[in-house]
Amino acid sequence: MKIATIEQFFPLPRVRLVKITTDNGLVGWGETTLEGKPASVVAAVEELAEYFVGKDPLRIEHHWQHVYRSAFFRGGNILMTALSGIDQALWDISGKHFGVPTHALLGGAVRERIRVYAHWGIGSLTDEGKASARERLDMLMAKGSYTAFKSGPGGKWRAHEPPSMIDEFVERAYLMREWVGPDVELAFDFHGKMTPAMAVEICHELKGMRPMFVEEPVPQENVDALKQVADKVSFPIATGERLLTRWGFREVIEKQAAAYLQPDTSHAGGITELKKIANMAEVYYMHILPHCAIGPVAFSASLHVDAVIPNFLAQEQIDQGLGGGLLQQDWEVVDGHIDLPSKPGLGFEIDETAVAQHTQYREELGGEYYYETDGSVADW
């Protein structure tokens, strides 16, 4: 069995897919969506296809090592996203070849179902904002009875802000706790917008409502700055959606700068690397909350690693991740969990008609954001 073709599809504004077909007709799917660099990843996949076509698709580890180590400049978000999507597709083919779910080839499941958390929050304290938030909460609870949600402060934050801005976010957070009660967990994504001092101040304000975690309180480049926050906050700190490979996570793990790690299966190195990152973290009693804010193929790939790692905590899930109109059957959330994938490979069937639709990429993260008061660049 050899790889015959590698194709790419662009079916949704923020979903880029790769399809690998073998000479005996097996098909594997992966997701290569990268915020801010869609065209670059397309080119990277085309370059990698020159190596992969004609190769045995079952030699996944060998191919991973070749792609990562043969380039003089290792890693980087473009290469790793392209490799991640191809890696997912190869695991999909392997499961189909052996007639088992991919997680069976990763050592077998250690749990019977997979916990997921949804995105929900109160955007503003106006009557309209509260009504909108209540409507979405009711919809999510009716759809899947979620037991955990993630929100964030939103907007642009400087090194420090007036008390009114901080108080407004804290009030929204406590109102969320009031609405869902003590049995539902709430997390907050700061999106790397804070300085250490600002993050610590806000985390102390949130302490009384017992967050599940605060994600990316500071930018990902400086692990010591992250540890400053983690050492001064009484609840868990999480990070990792912008870190790549075991080597990218090594310093965070060794310095124990976070309690939870959030590698993304479409950026960190695919299924192959996500499992290795989790295995490293297990030694330090760190838990894994895989990041996934793109499409259903990346989400499906994540589920298989979630199934086999003992230190898994919960899987991020956005509405689009459950199917997005691209799968013949969406994943179903019941009591905040998804049953283990049971079909061969990654466990889904693609709607070929939907996938064939070409959609212009639309950026939702990054871009040009400025503080209105002085025109300097702001994080978003």
Taking the CB of residue 371, how many other CB atoms lie within 10 A of it? 12
**Residue 8 pairs with which residues in a beta bridge?**
18
Q: Which residue has the tokens 């059957």?
A: 329
> Annotated catalytic, 267?
no
**Residue 21 pairs with which residues in a beta bridge?**
5, 27
Q: Which residue has the tokens 């069976």?
A: 104
The active-site residue, picked from 191, 267, 304, 337, is: 191
Q: Which residue has the tokens 């793990």?
A: 253
Positive or negative, the Cα torsion across 354, 358, 360, 363? positive
How far is the C-alpha of 218 from the C-alpha of 197, rounded, in Å? 10
Taking the CB of residue 38, how many other CB atoms lie within 10 A of it? 18
> Annotated catalytic, 204?
no
The active-site residue, picked from 103, 267, 287, 291, is: 291
Angle at Cα 215 formed by Cα 187 and Cα 331, nearest 5°? 60
How far is the C-alpha of 312 from the C-alpha of 278, rounded, in Å? 8
Q: Which residue has the tokens 């300097």?
A: 376
DSSP codes joined into one string, 194-257 = S-HHHHHHHHHHHGGG--SEEE-SS-TT-HHHHHHHHHH-SS-EEE-TT--HHHHHHHHHHTT-
Structure tokens at 311: 């230190």
- Give, to the nearest 10 degrees, the angle between helix 127-144 and helix 163-180: 40
- Contacts of 197 by beta carbon, 8 Å cutoff, 6+ apart: 159, 160
- Contacts of 115 by beta carbon, 8 Å cutoff, 6+ apart: 147, 148, 313, 314, 315, 336, 337
Give the residue numbers annotated as catalytic, written as ranges: 191, 291
